[in-house]
Structure 1
């Protein structure tokens, strides 16, 4: 079957090891099933995998991809929840010490077929296209959990999103606006800031700019490049929720500000199946949809990866099959 995969890591030149070609079809163990993939979205996790971050060489070759929408063995349209917990784990699967994402231990979803646990499937509403549904299980679920589960913020409060154009960032803007938050963003270019305003952001600022006032919360996925600005932008008692660090994992600690102004710094990773179900329902009820930057056939995966690597994004990059 056709798949996008990696056979050896390349920390400094990830695109050099991206392969698009034939791989064996998956075999589903007991309790699992196979899905005919119709669409899969690209995430920074996939670039990290090419670099060998979180994916050691001994697990390669590995098909990439953490999320998908497609058709199950009974002909039902489904959305795949990409967090794989251990078989007998109960409760929040993101807290399972042995949990993984598709493409870390088990082959990923950037292929014509993917094997997943049956418990990881949710019905795809007819209102959502396969491409839109494929954006939800990683980037949009991450944003949903950050804003509605972890932050403790209330509608009407002001939230700063660092980096205006990525998948999680655009999801935060759309979700926050729909729920009644004042969404502010930073962006490196006027084009990215204008696009964020079109999505519903109330104000957009240059990266690192002094804000007109401090904010109640910051949603942080950029890491090293924006961390200091994030901490300095918070009101006393404010909250920073972090779910990634695409520019590096060594931020200036700013610990004096954290304890003097009694800030909360909260980590967030992906989300649970019930949270994904709630997110899908929110899309149905409100009519909001993922911002898709570009749809490409899987055969043109390299173009999508190149766009992400260079930061040429305005929403999600989706591969279709």
Structure 2
């Protein structure tokens, strides 16, 4: 079967560690099943894997990919939840492509309980964009950020998969949404999603109830200053730097909650699919590639000139 595989680790030029070619069909442990992949999407997690982060040499070669939608052996259209219980990992779980082969292949083996029915109104490509970035944003807003208790949200660094998802979801939930980006073109696209787009560090018209933070050091002071009393600052990444300074006086005086967040549960992914149907919200797809052009898709993602998700159509 065709697959996109990490065959080495290259911290400086990760795409040199990518091989696209034939791979053996997956082994199927007891309680697992095989999904015929119809669509997948890329994440920065895949780029980090190619750099060797979280994917040591003893696990190579490894089929990449966390996200997929496809068809199970009974002909059911399904979405793959990419989190697998894993006692060998200190987190208690791992993602597909970390210890078990990932989704960037024509076939992927997953635990049966990791399959969620794909709603008829959501395409394979749209569904394949949800399980990592969109689920992370949904979990940050709802479970960690308790956005139902507030009316306003700030999303730092809109343009990437998680941040763009957070903007679209918060707008769909009826919140006032502010989003920052250094790129004027991305600010225009954020505004088209229904948010108020501002330059990084700009003063907002109000302090917000929830901050979605994935940039880190360059934006964290702004996140703190933009937070209303009792606000939740939810952090899922640090793409701009992980050593941020925290003003503890503001933290305790404003009664702020600083919360780490990663991924979400299977039930939350099912709820996210329901929300997409009920509120008619769909993932923002930057570009779609046929599987034969998967190397080009990786190059585009690594370039950083992306707004939303980079998707793969296995039927082309």
2:241 corresponds in structure 1 to: 248
Q: Distance in 1 between matches of 2:4 and 2:296?
A: 12
Residue 215 (structure 2) pairs with residue 217 (structure 1): no
Deviations 1:214-241 (A, max 9, x none): 2222101122322222122212322101
State the superposition RMSD in angstroms: 1.7
Indicate yes or no: 2:272 matched with 1:279: yes
Partner of 2:229: 236
Q: Deviations over 1:83-136 (max 9, x none)?
A: 10149xxxxxxx983200000000100011111000100111111110000011
Match for residue 250 of structure 2 among 254, 257, 265? 257
- Structure 1 98/156 Cα, relative in aligned 2: closer, same or farther at 3 Å? closer
2:54 equivalent to 1:59: no
Deviation track 1:133-168 (CA, whole Å, cap 9, x = no partner) reads 001111111111111111123366111001111111
TM-score, normalised to structure 1's length? 0.93
2: CA distance, partners of 1:140 / 1:4: 22
CA distance in 1, matches of 2:250, 2:18: 42
Q: Distance in 1 between matches of 2:291 and 2:239?
A: 24
Pairing partner for 1:98 from 80, 92, 102: 92
2:241 and 2:36 map into 1 onto residues whose CA distance is 35
- Contact persistence 2:80–2:116 (CA under 8 A): yes
Moved more, 78-87 or 161-170: 78-87
Instruction: Identify which of 254, 259, 263 aligns with 1:270.
Output: 263
The 1-side partners of 2:86 and 2:52 are apart by: 23
- The aligned residue for residue 160 of structure 2 is 166
Quick check: 1:162–1:220 contact (8 Å CA) kept in 2? Answer: yes
- Does the CA contact (< 8 Å) of 2:150 and 2:209 recur in 1? no
Tell me, yes or no, if the aligned pair for 1:107 and 1:114 is still in contact at 8 Å.
Answer: yes
2:175 alignment partner in structure 1: 181
Aligned equivalents of 2:305, 2:68: Cα separation in 1: 22
Say yes or no: does 1:49 pair with 2:49.
yes
Cα distance in 2 between the residues matched to 1:173 and 1:299: 31
Aligned residue runs from structure 1 range 53-132, under 5 A: 53-86=53-86, 97-132=91-126
**Ranges of 4+ aligned residues in structure 1 off by more than 4 Å:** none
Is the deviation greater in 216-225 or in 128-137?
Answer: 216-225
User: 1:210 and 1:182 mapped to 2: Cα distance?
Assistant: 15
- In the alignment, structure 1 segments of 5+ residues that lack a partner are 88-94
Native 8 Å contact 2:150 2:210 kept in 1: no
Give the distance between the partners of 1:19 and 1:208, measured in 2 at CA.
Answer: 41
Alpha-carbon distance between aligned partners in 2 of 1:254 and 1:3, rounded to the nearest angstrom:
47
**What TM-score do the two structures reach when normalised by structure 2?**
0.95
Task: Tell me the distance in 2 between the aligned counterparts of 1:177 and 1:320.
Answer: 28
- Residue equivalent to 2:199: 206
Report SS of the residue matched to 2:217: coil
1:307 aligns with 2:300: yes
Whole-Å separation in 2 of the counterparts to 1:126 and 1:275 = 19
Q: Deviations over 1:254-310 (max 9, x none)?
A: 333222322111111111111111111111111111111111012212222222222
Q: Mark the runs of 5 or more structure 2 residues left unpaired by the alignment.
A: none
Q: Distance in 1 between matches of 2:171 and 2:21?
A: 41
